[in-house]
């Protein structure tokens, strides 16, 4: 095991897969000469050269479409968006081309492409650079959507995503790139669609993914000080969702809180809430509680950001409510 930054784990995943398969290449804004906007691709141009690490113009629609065409013809592109807010410019290529091509071609064309980059709030970037799109893309048949929470998962999931025959949305966070964690030595893959129980517990299930796992785990630590045992589940993948792991946990704890950074309407937390009332209703001793961002565009003000997105205080209050007030 080694301690790596989140960005270093992503870089290792891409580099290992590019050494393994000459058809894998990286393309995006500033990924080559500048070593990546967040230094994720640092040194990759030197190793793989300009034929496999491409700087692009500021034209997401153009280079996303180029990537889809390359994937249809046997290559395996990694398309980096500087932020997934910019993916909206390319959403026609992602939704109407990459996601639907296999079905529309009757299986003649697969699209083995990874669209990756940061999602959600990253501090004082303003509303137009602070949105969460995990649930948007998860709503699209034909896409797989991965949102890792730590360096080890990030590396193993990204390697699986690059090898996957279908288009994969791989979402990170600017505020996590410097996070450090232990990463296994040698070759390893993490299967897509398998959640991970990060903390075992008996009193309440807390489910989250991405950087909100920090909030969930810290809230669980706070509750442990009062004698409450929280089981914390990291979805890791929001399409497909590992419903089975979540349901089995709820059957054990009988209570559930879901922490999600996206706005509350039509989110991953909404989908899970429906699933629990459909498949674990008789086991629930309290209503499911969701902790989401407030239903407003995110402000530039740091004090507003702190109260708008999920935090430990709101999560602890939700856990207390399902335990004592439901």
Confidence of residue 304 (pLDDT cuts 50, 70, 90): confident
DSSP symbols for 140-194: STT-EEE---SHHHHHHHHHHHHH-SS-EEEEE-GGGTT-EEEE-SS-----TT-
Q: Whole-prediction pTM value?
A: 0.96
- Residue 232 is predicted with a pLDDT of 98
- Mean pLDDT computed over 314-321: 97
- Residue 181 is predicted with a pLDDT of 97
Q: What is the mean pLDDT of the chain?
A: 96
- Residues whose CB is less than 8 angstroms from the CB of residue 78 and which lie 6 or more positions away in sequence, other chains included: 14, 24, 25, 26, 27, 113, 114, 116, 162
- Residue 101 is predicted with a pLDDT of 97
- Residue 307 is predicted with a pLDDT of 87
| H-type alpha helices, the chain | 6-20, 44-48, 60-72, 91-92, 101-104, 134-138, 151-163, 212-224, 243-253, 268-279, 302-308, 312-320
Decide if 275 is catalytic. Answer: no
pLDDT of 12 higher than 90:
yes
- Residue 7 is predicted with a pLDDT of 98
Beta carbons of 83 and 126 less than 8 angstroms apart: no
Percent pLDDT > 70 in the chain is 100
Q: What is the pLDDT of residues 147-163, one digit of tens each?
A: 999 999 999 999 999 99
Q: What is the pLDDT of residues 153-193, one digit of tens each?
A: 999 999 999 999 999 999 999 999 999 999 999 999 999 99
CATH of 2-183, one of 3.40.50.720, 3.40.1800.10, 3.40.190.10, 3.40.50.970: 3.40.50.970
Structure tokens at 291: 């902790």
Place of tokens 């489910």: 207
Residue of 8, 12, 60, 172 marked catalytic: 60
Confidence of residue 299 (pLDDT cuts 50, 70, 90): confident
Confidence of residue 79 (pLDDT cuts 50, 70, 90): very high
The residue extents of the domains of the chain are 2-183, 196-325
**N- to C-terminal Cα distance for the chain?**
43
- Residue 326 is predicted with a pLDDT of 58
- Residue 124 is predicted with a pLDDT of 85
* Residue-level length of the chain: 326
Residue of 129, 172, 231, 260 marked catalytic: 129
Decide if 33 is catalytic. Answer: no
Look at phi and psi of residue 120 and say left if phi exceeds 0, alpha if psi is from -120 to 50, else beta: left
Same fold, 2-183 and 196-325: yes
The CATH number given to 196-325 is 3.40.50.920
Confidence of residue 125 (pLDDT cuts 50, 70, 90): confident
Q: Cα(140)–Cα(88) distance, rounded to whole angstroms?
A: 14
Q: Cα(195)–Cα(240) distance, rounded to whole angstroms?
A: 10
Rounded-to-10 torsion of CA 185, 171, 58, 129: -130
Q: Cα(151)–Cα(176) distance, rounded to whole angstroms?
A: 9
Q: What is the pLDDT of residues 214-266, one digit of tens each?
A: 999 999 999 999 999 999 999 999 999 999 999 999 999 999 999 999 999 99
């Amino acid at each position: 095991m080694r301690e790596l930054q989140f960005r270093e784990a992503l870089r290792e995943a891409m580099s290992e897969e590019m050494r393994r398969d000459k058809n894998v290449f990286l393309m995006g804004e500033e990924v080559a000469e500048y070593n990546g906007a967040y230094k994720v691709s640092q040194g990759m141009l030197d190793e793989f050269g300009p034929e496999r690490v491409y700087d692009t113009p500021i034209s997401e629609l153009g280079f996303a479409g180029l990537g889809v065409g390359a994937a249809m013809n046997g290559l395996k592109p990694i398309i980096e968006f500087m932020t997934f807010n910019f993916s909206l410019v390319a959403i026609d290529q992602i939704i109407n081309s990459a996601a639907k091509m296999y079905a529309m071609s009757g299986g003649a064309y697969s699209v083995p492409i990874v669209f990756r980059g940061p999602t959600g709030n990253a501090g004082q970037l303003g509303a137009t650079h602070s949105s969460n799109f995990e649930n948007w893309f998860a709503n699209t048949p034909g896409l797989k959507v991965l949102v890792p929470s730590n360096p080890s998962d990030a590396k193993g999931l990204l390697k699986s995503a690059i090898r996957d025959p279908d288009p994969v949305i791989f979402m990170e966070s600017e505020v996590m790139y410097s996070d450090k964690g232990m990463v296994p030595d040698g070759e390893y893959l993490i299967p897509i669609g398998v959640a991970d129980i990060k903390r075992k517990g008996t009193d309440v299930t807390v489910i989250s993914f991405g950087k909100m796992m920090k909030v969930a785990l810290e809230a669980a630590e706070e509750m442990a000080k009062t004698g409450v045992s929280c089981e914390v589940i990291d979805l890791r993948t929001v399409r497909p969702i590992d419903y089975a792991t979540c349901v089995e946990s709820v059957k054990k704890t009988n209570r559930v809180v879901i922490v999600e950074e996206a706005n509350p309407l039509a989110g991953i937390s909404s989908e899970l809430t429906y699933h629990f009332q459909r498949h674990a209703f008789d086991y629930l001793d309290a209503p499911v509680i969701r902790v989401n961002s407030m239903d407003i565009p995110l402000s530039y003000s740091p004090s507003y950001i702190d109260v708008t997105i999920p935090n430990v205080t709101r999560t602890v209050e939700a856990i207390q409510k399902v335990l004592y007030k439901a």
